[in-house]
Amino acid sequence: RLTVWYVGSAFALVLCATGFLYWVLYTNLDREDDQFLADKVHILRALLRERPDDIKSIKREAEEEWAGRQVAQVFVRILDPQGRTVLETPGMQDLPPALFPEPVAADAEPGRAAEIETRAGRSFRVLAVRALFGASGEETRVLQLAFDRSYEEQLLAGYRTSMWLVLGVALVACALIGYQIARRGLQPVAEITAIARRIRSTTLSERIEAGRFPAELSTLAATFDDMLDRLEESFNRLSRFSADIAHELRTPVNNIRGEAEVALGKPRTPDEYREVLGSCLEEAVRLTGLIDSLLFLARAESPETQIARQAVDIGHELAAMRDFYEAAAAEAGVALQVHSAEVLHTDADRTLLQRAIANLIANAIAHTAPGGTITLGAGQDDPYIYIEVADSGSGIAAEHLPHVFDRFYRADPARTNASGRVGLGLAIVKSIAGLHGGSVSITSEVGKGTCVRIFLPSKPALELL
């Protein structure tokens, strides 16, 4: 189709150009013929007015013009007031007076000639004018002039033949050139298509390299490469996610299986069976928590997920979370305090918000040594409010910070495995913030502690009334 468009547009330009040139030639020939006839009329009018009795001079003027032009001849006829022929050049007898238009007045310009065609197929441009006969101006004569256009018709026919030949050659040339242009123009697209066709889930590392393509396609190639980067990252994360799920599910299932096999290995006392069942229940609870977390993350990513928003007093929620975790913090030897100087409100799902804060507090307790401090706070950062949980714990190395919100990511795998944590806590916090139209951020320094902030859209106090 691109070739057809090229051929059509180019051929249309050639056709318009040749058609215009033909029209210019045709109109110029008509103009020259009319001007020649007008000049002839002026000469004959002057002779009839100044020397009306000199018929020989008038006849000589008319016949010399006829004899002197072998290519395009002019024929003249002079009629008296009664319509009788006074003078007529040879050949004029083939053009009866009735074929000529009405003559114009003696004092009028000849104007544009008319075009007639005889029964023999010859074409003429004709004029009919009145001319004063004698100086007195009392009598007039009618001049009829005819210009033979046979030669011009042959010239135009030859031009048309040449024009159709040129148009035919131009059409073939346009088709060939258009095909080559289209082929060369689409070659980069074909290369991009071939590269894209080769890409599979196992070859996502392949790139198009936008720099080697024309500017018109480099943006497309660069965009395609960016898409491949995102796909590769997504596939890698999905692969890691699948491997982590398999690993995390295998551990409690193997523990339950091992406990059951040991218990069935030989007869045991009721207390021993009770101990085995308790251990299995503990692993089942851990497995249920893992599955619940995964289901929550899956629902959070669904665009159809809706949350039950209500007015929430941030300071009140932080105080409630401190009271709830105060015993666990005291057991770990960590001080848990709240610093929130201003009254802040927002529209949020209270249960989800409590879960996000709880995850942050649990992480802080797990990574803060005895004698450390965990501070819960809130503040305004228009158009958001933020909730922060800061600790004075071990901190996180800078290379781990970009990944801590990924699922199953653990900066210290050995420590988190020992504590039974699977690395979903911060991922859930990020999902909850996203469901509220907010975001999360983290800052940390090894040996000094970590601060995580949840940003939520603020709600003016007047809206709570």
In b/e form, how buried is each residue of 186-197, taking b as 16+ CB within 10 angstroms?
eebeeebeebee
Per-residue pLDDT of 288-297, as tens digits, reads 877 887 777 7
Is pLDDT larger for residue 411 or for residue 315? Answer: 315
Tokens of 244: 């982590």
Query: Is residue 441 pLDDT above 90, yes or no?
Result: yes
Per-residue pLDDT of 339-365, as tens digits, reads 876 788 888 988 899 999 999 999 999
Instruction: Give the three-state DSSP class for 361.
Output: helix
Rounded CA-CA distance 267/323 in Å is 46
User: For residue 55, is it left (φ>0), alpha (ψ between -120 and 50) or beta?
Assistant: alpha
**Domains in the chain with CATH codes:** 2-157 (3.30.450), 211-301 (1.10.287.130), 310-464 (3.30.565.10)
Rounded CA-CA distance 83/57 in Å is 21
Per-residue pLDDT of 363-386, as tens digits, reads 999 889 999 999 999 988 888 899
Per-residue pLDDT of 250-282, as tens digits, reads 777 888 888 888 888 888 888 888 888 888 888
Rounded CA-CA distance 195/180 in Å is 23
pLDDT at 62: 65
**Hunting for tokens 């305004």 — which residue is that?**
380
pTM summary value: 0.50
Q: What angle do CA 389, 394, 395 make, to 5 degrees?
A: 60
Question: Amino acid letter at 19?
Answer: G
pLDDT at 460: 45
